[in-house]
C-alpha cells in the first residue's frame, strides 16, 4: 500500500432504495461484510484510503447517510432516530449479516444502537472519535469547541452559522484535520451541500449531541448504548489519535476500564477526522484486528 493520502476515490457508485429514497454506497472485496459509517459533515469519501486494507479479505462497504454525500435528501427532520431508521433499512435492503461495524463521529451512536438492537447480526465494532456515552457537562469540551458548538445549538444563530455561512463544512471540517485538506478534497466534501436547504442535516447533528440532559431522546439512546458497550462481549476496537478531539485521555481511560473485550490502538497524530491524517495506520490496524479476530 502507498503511504500517500490520495484524494482519488476510484469506485463505482451504487444505490439502494430505502424507505422511498435512494441511499448511496460503495463496496469492494468479498467475504463477510465490514460496514463503514461516517458522521457529520462527511460521507463514504472519508474512508477512501482506509477500505483498501479491508477489501483484501472482507467485503468493505461504505455508505452515505441519508441526506448526506450522494444519498437522497428527503423532507425529514434528520434526527438521530431518522438516521437510525434509514441505516437499519439500508442493512436490511442489502441483506447484510454477520457484520463488522467501523464507525466515526455520529456513525458511532448509529452503529452502537444497531449492534445493541441486533446483537446476533453483529460480529464486532471498531470505533474512533465518536460519542460513547452522554456528556454530563459542557466542561467536558475544550474551550474552543465548547463555545462554537454552543453557538451551533443556539436557535437562529446556529442555523445562520451552519446553513448560511457554511461554517461546519468550510471551517470545522478542515480545521479538524492536522495536515489540512486539499482543494480537490474540499470540493468533494462541499459537493452535497451546494445550497442552504441541503445543509439541514449538517445543522441538525450538533443539536442532537447529548449534553447536560438535552436533547432528552438522544440522551436516553446514549445511555442505553453506553450500558450495552459495558456489558456486551462483542469484540471492540478503539482507535485513538493524539491529541484527538471527542475522545481524549480521560475518555480513553474510561473505555479501557469499563468496556468489555476492548482493544485500544493509537494510530498517531490526529484531531477529529483522523481518517484524513492517519488513514493507512487506521486501515492496517483494522485489518490486523480482523485477522486475529
Residues marked active site are found at 105, 129, 272
Whose cell is 484510503? That residue is 49
Tell me the C-alpha distance between 154 and 227, whole Å.
Answer: 30
Nearest residue to 246 (alpha-carbon basis) of 132, 102, 161, 139: 132
Crossing angle of the two packed helices 80-94 and 107-117, in degrees rounded to 10: 60
- Residue 225: all three cell numbers together: 448504548
Residues with Cβ within 8 Å of 253's Cβ and at least 6 positions away in sequence, in order, are none
Residues with Cβ within 8 Å of 292's Cβ and at least 6 positions away in sequence, in order, are none
Tell me the C-alpha distance between 49 and 282, whole Å.
Answer: 9
Taking the CB of residue 11, how many other CB atoms lie within 10 A of it?
A: 17
Amino acid at each position: 500500500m502507498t503511504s500517500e493520502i490520495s484524494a482519488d476515490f476510484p469506485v463505482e457508485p451504487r444505490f439502494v432504495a430505502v424507505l422511498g429514497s435512494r441511499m448511496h454506497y460503495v463496496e469492494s472485496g468479498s467475504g463477510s461484510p465490514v460496514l463503514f459509517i461516517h458522521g457529520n459533515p462527511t460521507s463514504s469519501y472519508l474512508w477512501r484510503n482506509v477500505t483498501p486494507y479491508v477489501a483484501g479479505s472482507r467485503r468493505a462497504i461504505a455508505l452515505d447517510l441519508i441526506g448526506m454525500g450522494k444519498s437522497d435528501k428527503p423532507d425529514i427532520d434528520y434526527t438521530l432516530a431518522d438516521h437510525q431508521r434509514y441505516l437499519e433499512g439500508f442493512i436490511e435492503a442489502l441483506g447484510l449479516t454477520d457484520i463488522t461495524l467501523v464507525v466515526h463521529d455520529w456513525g458511532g451512536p448509529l452503529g452502537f444502537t444497531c449492534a445493541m438492537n441486533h446483537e446476533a447480526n453483529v460480529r464486532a465494532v471498531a470505533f474512533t472519535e465518536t460519542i460513547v456515552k452522554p456528556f454530563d457537562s459542557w466542561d467536558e469540551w475544550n474551550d474552543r469547541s465548547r463555545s462554537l458548538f454552543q453557538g451551533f445549538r443556539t436557535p437562529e444563530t446556529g442555523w445562520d452559522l451552519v446553513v448560511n455561512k457554511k461554517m461546519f463544512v468550510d471551517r470545522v471540517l478542515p480545521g479538524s484535520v492536522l495536515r489540512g485538506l486539499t482543494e480537490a478534497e474540499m470540493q468533494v466534501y462541499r459537493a452535497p451541500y451546494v445550497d442552504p436547504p441541503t445543509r439541514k442535516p449538517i445543522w441538525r447533528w450538533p443539536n442532537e449531541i447529548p449534553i447536560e440532559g438535552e436533547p432528552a431522546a438522544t440522551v436516553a439512546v446514549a445511555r442505553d448504548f453506553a450500558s450495552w458497550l459495558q456489558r456486551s462481549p462483542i469484540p471492540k476496537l478503539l482507535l485513538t489519535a493524539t491529541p484527538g478531539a471527542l475522545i481524549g485521555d480521560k475518555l480513553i481511560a474510561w473505555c479501557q476500564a469499563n468496556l468489555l473485550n476492548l482493544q485500544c490502538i493509537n494510530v498517531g497524530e490526529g484531531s477529529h477526522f483522523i481518517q484524513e491524517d492517519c488513514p493507512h495506520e487506521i486501515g492496517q490496524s483494522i485489518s490486523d484486528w480482523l485477522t486475529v479476530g
